[in-house]
Chain A
Amino acid sequence: MVVTTSQGRQTSAAPSSPQTASMSDPLAIELRGISKAFGPVQANKDISISVRKGTIHGIIGENGAGKSTLMSILYGFYKADSGTVLINGQEVQITSSQAAINAGIGMVFQHFKLVENFTVLENVILGAEEGALLKPSLGKARKLLQQLSDEYELSVDPDALVENLSVGHQQRVEILKALYRQADILILDEPTGVLTPAEADHLFRILQGLKEQGKTIILITHKLREIMDVTDSVSVMRRGEMTDTVKTSETSPEALAELMVGRKVLLEVEKTPAAPGTPILEVENLTVVDAQGVIRVKGIDLQVRAGEILGIAGVAGNGQTELLEVLGGYQVGTGVIRMNGEELDLTGNASDGQSRREKGIGHVPEDRHDEGLILEFSAWENIMFGYHHDPEYQKNGLIMDTAKIKQIAYDKMERFDTRPLNEKLPAKSFSGGNQQKIVLAREIERNPDLLLIGQPTRGVDIGAIEFIHQQIVALRDQGKAILLVSVELDEILSLSDRIAVMFDGKIMGERLPAETDERELGMLMAGINNGADAAQSGDA
């Protein structure tokens, strides 16, 4: 839980912020009846929200619920079809991001908008330079940065190049950019997606500090835990509509989940203890060097047995992606990988995704949009994708039996409860959860001995998460081996039978879910091993 300390002191950085902040303060921002349609899709329907000054307000909703659209309207990227925006009680027209900045709104995007080879200072003043010469602006910004970092734990080296900063620090630069532009209202879009738990906690401390100073913060997230931890009030969106706004202290994760999905959801995965069998996958001293010459995986060892789920935890970009790619057959590596005791080719000369499938490896890739699916292709084409050489799909040596493939695809989609149940629709017209079901239907229905599965529920709605988790556990219970990679610690903890934590291309340690907690895993994810199990880590 986040602890905040009051260190309120009025600074020139926030000239317009009030002296005190409390729940009875006037409204910082009020939206009245905002509607926005994209073609036939109603992204926002008559949305009204009021956020009081000096509070942290959460907006939660599933993918496609309309959160991002709403914030884009607030930041001037889209123009609302109807409705009004009031800032500090005054109606404003936000026609561009510059207008939003002038109205005191700052935005921290999910994907940072920083110039990588500029310094922190240069990034902060970029677009807000005063006068023709840079020097006065830089001097002023340096002073201000110093003040801000003192007050809000926002410390970053002003002269460091952004590309050399960690993701958490880059995010701080984004916050500094907004504050430098004198933002009173700060909007953060899914800010913790790329952070370690420790970094996330640090971010929340910063947000608390800003709140103490009278700043208003809007936090967009799909993580219930974050909402419960840091917000004062929360609005729930579903299918473009605002379903409810409640005080955080008066609600529960279960109640919020129900509001989001529109029905009761089971947040915990029900599963029996694993009954692991013989090793299916054995990895020894696996090293992966990427095309740029960076060593991504540094000699790891691991083993997945039949009937168990091995969860790989870690912050994104610590080698998990490359591990999956090597196992999936489309990345080269060195070391030894054995599947059912048979050594696999790692050079790429005698192997590809195709040959791995023939060896009984199914793969649900991390990136559904770029790898797992071809979005423009129809669902049935996606269901044969990768298995299109299967004799079952052919009419003769030359022509594919498309009618039969469509029928098979329909059946698979039906078994995986894919909606809409129409195999002819292009993949892009399915929701994230249903897209994932298409990939899962393709891979699981092949009955693989080993299923590689990366970020199974990224961008997937809560309702579908439940279903997907059940399918993974069911496959395990059939005695199959499962290698699960996820950046969501909750998911790792609730699904895995064993947990390995990856950091900087190495396995930092292995834990049993019952004997560990988020704090300990978080430390391992940050590269800190207390040494309790040095023998388990993959390298010396």
Chain B
Amino acid sequence: MQAMPKWADAILIPFISLLLAFILSGLMIMAIGKDPVVAVQTMVQGAFGSTNGLGYTLYYTTNFIFTGLAIAVAYQARLFNIGGEGQVMLGGVGVALVCLAIDWPHWAIALPAAMIGGAVFGAAWAFIPAYLQAKRGSHIVITTMMFNFIASAFVGYLLINFLKVPGSMSTESAGFPDGAHLPNFHDMLAPFGIEFSANSPANIAFLIALLAAVGFWVLIWKTRLGFEIRSFGASETAAKYAGINPVRITIIAMLISGALCGLMAINNVMGEAERLIDNAPEGAGFIGIAVALMGRNHPIGIVLAALLFGFLVQGGAELNLWESIPRELVMVIQGLVILFTGALDNMVRRPLEKLFLALRKAKEA
């Protein structure tokens, strides 16, 4: 017997949490002397009000879908992958190496190759902490977090010593060849007569992210491997009883997680920057944790949560741009959303459960 109907758990709670976060954010915006209503309008306009803004929103959304799915896969096995950031960085290296390797004739050939490059590099970076956890019991939260720092230093080293264009001051690789240019929404929608901003970074990687979400669903709920991952996550003792090898599942779940992080690089490195820059993930690996948490580790939830965070980043940039609301406050608003939807879940859940019980009793009586 459940205290609340499923829809309330999946929709109502996040919605109320969000509302609370926005109310608190509104009070803070008022405190610095700005109009919260105008701020909300600016954010919504900026994120959805033009195809250009929408393109940016969906670009960020794509990043967060990849990392959200990655964190969720690991979490299905109760592994906290805090190392998404580093895995995305390494994925970027993989994508960059593939894109720079040859003069690609067409993106349709370059894209699958780059996907493999990103996934392999991301997975390889996740493999080391996974192995240490599975074989040596080194706590994966600590190791993955530390590996973010190592990744950052390692990518910096690679950029400066091998990938950087000589004479250039920016720590970034050379631009990718034209054949590695991914079609953006403008290119993709033009054949259908839909005019989409040519300058927004949303590109075909968004569709790949949606495919990854479907793949996630199939993997977790339709395959034996997914069943074993979930079993191991739900009860390690039961998994051992059933003959599910903890070492194998830990490593496989982390490899998939790292590969999904690495795949994000086809969006930000190949689709947007078209060169490898330093600190390319820009926090997407960490936001993925919040996205997975808020999305309840379910692909539909993750896509929606990623869209929310895409909106927050793009809308937040607009706030900074037009309302002179400092970017630090924009970060606070994003932090509040994470806090309310993630950490303070029970604050909303408990009273709601009581409310539903009271309603049910009233109906029975």
Please measure, in the bound complex, the distance between the C-alpha atom of A119 and the C-alpha atom of B110, giving whole angstroms: 70
Given contacts A399-B218, A400-B227, contact A40 B243 (CB under 8 A): no
A374 touches B3 (CB 8 A): no
Please measure, in the bound complex, the distance between the C-alpha atom of A385 and the C-alpha atom of B234, giving whole angstroms: 12
Q: Which A residues, 17 to 55, have Cβ-Cβ distances below 8 Å to chain B?
A: 39-41
B357 touches A386 (CB 8 A): no
Task: Assess whether B346 is interfacial by the CB under 8 Å rule.
Answer: no
In angstroms, how far is the closest chain A Cβ from the Cβ of B282? 35
Please measure, in the bound complex, the distance between the C-alpha atom of A130 and the C-alpha atom of B242, giving whole angstroms: 52
Contacts of A388 in B (CB 8 A): 224, 227-228
A353 touches B227 (CB 8 A): no
Q: Mark B242-265, 1 if CB is under 8 A from A, else 0.
A: 111100000000000000000000
Please measure, in the bound complex, the distance between the C-alpha atom of A352 and the C-alpha atom of B244, giving whole angstroms: 8
A400 touches B242 (CB 8 A): no
Task: Assess whether B231 is interfacial by the CB under 8 Å rule.
Answer: yes
Contacts of B245 in A (CB 8 A): 352
Task: Assess whether B327 is interfacial by the CB under 8 Å rule.
Answer: no
Given contacts A398-B223, A400-B223, A402-B222, contact A41 B234 (CB under 8 A): no
Please measure, in the bound complex, the distance between the C-alpha atom of A354 and the C-alpha atom of B224, giving whole angstroms: 13
Contacts of B360 in A (CB 8 A): 40
Task: Assess whether A372 is interfacial by the CB under 8 Å rule.
Answer: yes
Contacts of B240 in A (CB 8 A): 330, 352-353, 371
The residue among A41, A355, A371 with the most chain B CB atoms within 10 A of its own CB is: A371
The B interface, classified by DSSP as helix, strand, loop or mixed, is: helix
Task: Assess whether B278 is interfacial by the CB under 8 Å rule.
Answer: no
A377 touches B222 (CB 8 A): no
Closest to B228 in A: A388
In angstroms, how far is the closest chain A Cβ from the Cβ of B76? 12
B235 touches A374 (CB 8 A): yes
Contacts of A372 in B (CB 8 A): 238, 241
Query: Which residue of B218, B227, B357 contacts A40 across the interface (Cβ within 8 Å)?
Result: B357
Given contacts A374-B231, A377-B231, contact A330 B222 (CB under 8 A): no
Contacts of A184 in B (CB 8 A): none
Q: Mark B211-226, 1 if CB is under 8 A from A, else 0.
A: 0000000100011100
Contacts of A243 in B (CB 8 A): none
Query: Which residue of B1, B223, B235 contacts A39 across the interface (Cβ within 8 Å)?
Result: B1
Contacts of A40 in B (CB 8 A): 1, 3, 357, 360
In angstroms, how far is the closest chain B Cβ from the Cβ of A288? 15
Task: Assess whether A251 is interfacial by the CB under 8 Å rule.
Answer: no
- Chain A: interface size category: 35 or more
Please measure, in the bound complex, the distance between the C-alpha atom of A400 and the C-alpha atom of B222, giving whole angstroms: 6
Task: Assess whether A376 is interfacial by the CB under 8 Å rule.
Answer: yes
In angstroms, how far is the closest chain A Cβ from the Cβ of B202? 31
Given contacts A373-B238, A374-B234, A399-B218, contact A353 B243 (CB under 8 A): yes
Q: Which B residues, 186 to 215, have Cβ-Cβ distances below 8 Å to chain A?
A: none
Query: Which residue of B218, B234, B237 contacts A371 across the interface (Cβ within 8 Å)?
Result: B237
Contacts of B353 in A (CB 8 A): 39
In angstroms, how far is the closest chain A Cβ from the Cβ of B246? 10
Query: Which residue of B234, B241, B244 contacts A365 across the interface (Cβ within 8 Å)?
Result: B241
Task: Assess whether A381 is interfacial by the CB under 8 Å rule.
Answer: yes
In angstroms, how far is the closest chain A Cβ from the Cβ of B2? 8
B224 touches A41 (CB 8 A): no
Contacts of A41 in B (CB 8 A): 1
In angstroms, how far is the closest chain B Cβ from the Cβ of A446? 13
Contacts of B242 in A (CB 8 A): 353-354, 385-386
Q: Mark A325-366, 1 if CB is under 8 A from B, else 0.
A: 000111000000000000000000000111111000001010
Please measure, in the bound complex, the distance between the C-alpha atom of A407 and the C-alpha atom of B18, giving whole angstroms: 41
Please measure, in the bound complex, the distance between the C-alpha atom of A375 and the C-alpha atom of B231, giving whole angstroms: 10
Task: Assess whether A370 is interfacial by the CB under 8 Å rule.
Answer: yes
In angstroms, how far is the closest chain A Cβ from the Cβ of B5? 12
A376 touches B234 (CB 8 A): yes
Contacts of A367 in B (CB 8 A): 237
Counting residue pairs across A and B whose Cβ atoms lie within 8 Å, the total is 76
Task: Assess whether A404 is interfacial by the CB under 8 Å rule.
Answer: no
A328 touches B3 (CB 8 A): no
Task: Assess whether A429 is interfacial by the CB under 8 Å rule.
Answer: yes
A371 touches B243 (CB 8 A): no
Please measure, in the bound complex, the distance between the C-alpha atom of A389 and the C-alpha atom of B225, giving whole angstroms: 10
Q: Which A residues, 313 to 329, have Cβ-Cβ distances below 8 Å to chain B?
A: 328-329
Query: Which residue of A39, A357, A376, A394 contacts B243 across the interface (Cβ within 8 Å)?
Result: A357
A330 touches B243 (CB 8 A): yes
A386 touches B218 (CB 8 A): no
Please measure, in the bound complex, the distance between the C-alpha atom of A381 and the C-alpha atom of B228, giving whole angstroms: 11
In angstroms, how far is the closest chain A Cβ from the Cβ of B243? 3
Please measure, in the bound complex, the distance between the C-alpha atom of A282 and the C-alpha atom of B245, giving whole angstroms: 26
Closest to B232 in A: A374
Given contacts A39-B353, A40-B357, A402-B222, contact A354 B1 (CB under 8 A): no
A354 touches B243 (CB 8 A): yes
B238 touches A370 (CB 8 A): yes
Please measure, in the bound complex, the distance between the C-alpha atom of A367 and the C-alpha atom of B240, giving whole angstroms: 13
In angstroms, how far is the closest chain B Cβ from the Cβ of A234? 30
Please measure, in the bound complex, the distance between the C-alpha atom of A330 and the C-alpha atom of B360, giving whole angstroms: 46
A328 touches B241 (CB 8 A): yes
Please measure, in the bound complex, the distance between the C-alpha atom of A385 and the C-alpha atom of B243, giving whole angstroms: 10
Please measure, in the bound complex, the distance between the C-alpha atom of A526 and the C-alpha atom of B1, giving whole angstroms: 44
A374 touches B1 (CB 8 A): no
Q: Which B residues, 320 to 365, have Cβ-Cβ distances below 8 Å to chain A?
A: 353, 357, 360
Q: Which B residues, 1 to 42, have Cβ-Cβ distances below 8 Å to chain A?
A: 1, 3
Contacts of B224 in A (CB 8 A): 388-389, 394, 400
B241 touches A39 (CB 8 A): no
Contacts of B357 in A (CB 8 A): 39-40
B3 touches A39 (CB 8 A): yes
Please measure, in the bound complex, the distance between the C-alpha atom of A129 and the C-alpha atom of B223, giving whole angstroms: 58
Contacts of A398 in B (CB 8 A): 223
In angstroms, how far is the closest chain A Cβ from the Cβ of B361? 9
In angstroms, how far is the closest chain A Cβ from the Cβ of B280? 33
Contacts of B230 in A (CB 8 A): 377
Q: Mark A383-409, 1 if CB is under 8 A from B, else 0.
A: 011101100001000111010000000
In angstroms, how far is the closest chain B Cβ from the Cβ of A447? 18
Given contacts A370-B237, A385-B238, contact A352 B227 (CB under 8 A): no
Please measure, in the bound complex, the distance between the C-alpha atom of A260 and the C-alpha atom of B355, giving whole angstroms: 34
Contacts of B1 in A (CB 8 A): 39-41, 429
Contacts of B218 in A (CB 8 A): 399
Please measure, in the bound complex, the distance between the C-alpha atom of A429 and the C-alpha atom of B245, giving whole angstroms: 28
Please measure, in the bound complex, the distance between the C-alpha atom of A388 and the C-alpha atom of B249, giving whole angstroms: 15
Query: Which residue of A356, A357, A377, A399 contacts B234 across the interface (Cβ within 8 Å)?
Result: A377
Contacts of B231 in A (CB 8 A): 374, 377, 385
Contacts of A365 in B (CB 8 A): 241
The residue among B235, B237, B243 with the most chain A CB atoms within 10 A of its own CB is: B243
Contacts of A376 in B (CB 8 A): 234
Closest to A354 in B: B243
In angstroms, how far is the closest chain B Cβ from the Cβ of A385? 6
Closest to B356 in A: A39
Closest to B231 in A: A374
Contacts of A353 in B (CB 8 A): 240-244
B238 touches A374 (CB 8 A): yes
Please measure, in the bound complex, the distance between the C-alpha atom of A235 and the C-alpha atom of B360, giving whole angstroms: 32
Contacts of A370 in B (CB 8 A): 235, 237-238
Given contacts A40-B357, A40-B360, contact A363 B241 (CB under 8 A): yes
Q: List 14 A-B contacts (CB under 8 A).
A: A39-B3, A39-B357, A352-B240, A353-B242, A353-B243, A354-B242, A374-B234, A374-B238, A375-B234, A377-B230, A377-B234, A381-B227, A384-B227, A388-B227
In addition to A353-B243, A385-B238, 8 A-B residue pairs with Cβ atoms within 8 Å of each other are A329-B243, A330-B243, A371-B238, A371-B240, A372-B238, A374-B235, A386-B243, A429-B1
A residues bordering B, Cβ < 8 Å? 39-41, 328-330, 352-357, 363, 365, 367, 370-377, 381, 384-386, 388-389, 394, 398-400, 402, 429
Counting from the closest, the 10 A-B pairs by CB-CB distance are A354-B243, A353-B243, A386-B242, A352-B243, A371-B241, A370-B237, A330-B240, A39-B3, A374-B234, A40-B1
